Amino acid sequence: MRNRILAVAAITAVLGAPIVAQAQNTVGVVRGESVIVDADDGIATAQRPAFREYVIRERVPTYTIPERVVIGTTLPEAGITYYDVPQTYGPTTYRYTVVNGQTVLVEPRTRRIVQVVE
């Protein structure tokens, strides 16, 4: 499994674009680093429309950053509020916020974007 992930990361580094390594994992390269996201930890595809509606109903403010909003981007330490994802949308250790008009899931300890909820 480790060799498979390393091989996919190497291919991704050469191609420079995110690809799917397995049905559950997404691998991408951001600023030269491999990023692996387990899709089971984020908002499931079927739950995304309802989750987006929830974020709109909650009137979560959008924060503006100069960078593009992509998986792997680390958000600033100050100035952004992160919110717990309600259990209704599945168990996750991530938090969410809205950046540049896009809802994102963030790893709370590192503030790294792990999923852009589209």
Answer yes or no: do 12 and 29 share one domain.
yes
- Closest C-alpha among 66, 72, 64, 75 to residue 101: 64
- Judged against a pLDDT cut of 50, whether residue 95 lies above it is answered with yes
Is residue 113 within 8 A of residue 69, CB to CB? The reply is yes
Residue 90 pLDDT > 50? yes
Read off the pLDDT of residues 26-48 as tens digits, 9 standing for 90 and up: 444 444 544 444 445 799 999 99
Which domain covers residue 24, as residue numbers? 1-39
Predicted model pTM: 0.67
23 shares its domain with 71? no
- CB 106, CB 73: distance < 8 Å: no
List CB contacts of 99: < 8 A, sequence separation 6 or more.
62, 63, 64, 65, 69, 75, 80, 113
pLDDT at 100 (0 to 100): 96
Give 77's pLDDT tier (boundaries 50, 70, 90): confident
